[in-house]
A and B are shown apart, each in its own frame.
Chain A
């Protein structure tokens, strides 16, 4: 594992907004994990001097410019989810949470606590130092000419101002924990938003949910019916077709797999119309998923209220 400094930490606007919303709507303190990627930015140093004085270039090679980008997070509405009171990690639950996010690396974690000073606490220091020393969560730096691995060393701290203010409601600071010095180095947190000014930043972003690879040429199964030998083959092809349809149904609502071949090749005269149609169906699918999420959220809320009552009873607050 390499102990390299990050130049800065980026987070997308919606992710930060979502994080702040989870924090402000939770009744108590929250914590969770941060996912994303670390990319290497090639530092361009153009020197007019002769090539023998490329010492400067090689030194920039030794300390590469790394930028961490936070693209998603997992937040549990409580604290101490993957560690215990003494700050020791619960590796089992950590692995379980991380297994759902295979494409993204675990960059670090965050903690939100109301009306407290904006500096790491005793337990947060212990958890961060434990987390950043775990080799099994180390990940590769992307876009890098040399191979670098980093451990999850990013810590994002969210608090609220001590006295209720109308000017700002939240404060946050991002740190990188350096193993060599055991020091929390504050880093600037850049918020990347949509818009023409930020287009260049989106180079570090790539889709989490890519459209699946599906065949666009499909033989209609009825032409196979005459050839008895091809019965087993037609069964196989039917199975494959239904499999592909099932995959497509995950992304679009009621879009027949057979229409895909109208998007390319000789039948693609009406391809814009077909694409728009598919897009409409994809949006419909999203709407359906959103409704499902709403329903399950309501049930989660019910359960959480029930849990809260039990907790209050244990605390003797009734």
Chain B
């Protein structure tokens, strides 16, 4: 079943089968994804690389239940997400998935603590907001509003918000894209720690090949298809990375 080239002991939590996504732009059809097969395993750290426009975000959005494929199926632990409709996808996002975006997307009218509480209020087994913020090193900024935080701090609040519900998977779409070099590293460190300490599966999109070294697997996309999948023998720690 698994099309992954290397066998892995951990069970697959995601299984994408023949995922196609086509955008109809008037006369032209844009093929964002062309029959993509992909598996994600419990607890692994995946780096998704590829040039701009290769379909990385589209893939991640479909896996995360933000979007539905034109054809093909996405299974999350035996459940076919492509057939659920909005209600199922909302519950799925609410309970199992954490998202992190390039532009933090915090709620400006809520403090750091409240932004995290937004999630813990509706999740079934959340950690306390303070706990989540401590994990990302922001215990001293609990009552700051987003406008009072730096970019890196805002992104860390976004991570805290994403992990506070103890999601099974964390999807990060260019989380360091808007950050400078050292702040970016800080954020990657937090993500590595979440993966290791909480056992959360993490998928990071980046067009920074250097970041690939910190993943268990590096998946490269090109032109709406998976081009290569590489397994790293050893995961580099973020402070070893260079880009």
Q: A and B, one complex?
A: no
Residues of A participating in the B interface, judged by any CB pair closer than 8 Å: none
Residues of B participating in the A interface, judged by any CB pair closer than 8 Å: none
